[in-house]
């Protein structure tokens, strides 16, 4: 009997709008991470770029990709907000995320000697939470 109620609880949690929104956010985030990671590898290995510069450039590329997918599939556009203002807010929130990302990379790679790619995954985990809640608060008409 407990198994049935457990699966009912899981079904109920997955049916909750916040859970569905976060799962969409996570899917968009994974796609954006794949784009960012591919560019990071290319910039580091093919162009021998400094890890902080490569991290910054790959992160910026992923912002544009993420904005398009996030505003199409995850968040509800606020009708009283122009797309230009929406993108500016998205970019400012992302710039703060970039600052956190670079700070984590500097501490992990530069000070603690964690591998660049491993630290990128760790950094992404922490920045994801900031990104979700800040974008939801400032950009999502469904959670204004």
- pLDDT, one tens digit per residue, over 58-108 is 988 998 999 999 999 999 999 999 999 999 999 899 989 989 999 999 999
Residue 140: strand, helix, or coil: coil
CA nearest to 126, candidates 91, 99, 144: 99
Percent of the chain with pLDDT over 90: 68
Query: pTM of the full predicted structure?
Result: 0.70
Q: Which DSSP category does 43 fall into?
A: I
Closest CA to 116 of 58, 68, 63: 58
1, pLDDT greater than 50:
no
Contacts 24+ apart (CB under 8 A), 85-90: 86/139, 89/138, 89/139, 90/63, 90/135, 90/139
Question: Could you give the 3-state DSSP secondary structure of residue 37?
Answer: helix
pLDDT band at 5 (very low <50, low <70, confident <90, very high): low
Q: Does residue 104 sit in helix, strand or coil? A: helix
98: CB partners within 8 A, 6+ apart: 56, 59, 60, 63
């Amino acid at each position: 009997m407990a198994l049935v109620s457990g699966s009912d609880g899981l079904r109920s949690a997955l049916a909750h709008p916040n859970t569905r929104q976060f799962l969409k956010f996570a899917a968009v985030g994974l796609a954006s991470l794949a784009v960012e990671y591919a560019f990071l590898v290319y910039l580091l290995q093919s162009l021998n770029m400094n890890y902080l510069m490569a991290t910054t450039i790959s992160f910026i590329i992923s912002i544009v990709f993420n904005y398009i997918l996030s505003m199409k599939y995850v968040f509800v556009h606020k009708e009283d907000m122009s797309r230009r203002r929406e993108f500016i807010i998205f970019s400012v929130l992302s710039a703060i995320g970039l600052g956190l990302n670079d700070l984590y990379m500097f501490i992990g790679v530069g000070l603690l000697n964690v591998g660049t790619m491993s630290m990128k995954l760790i950094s992404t985990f922490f920045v994801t939470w900031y990104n979700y809640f800040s974008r939801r608060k400032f950009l999502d008409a469904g959670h204004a």
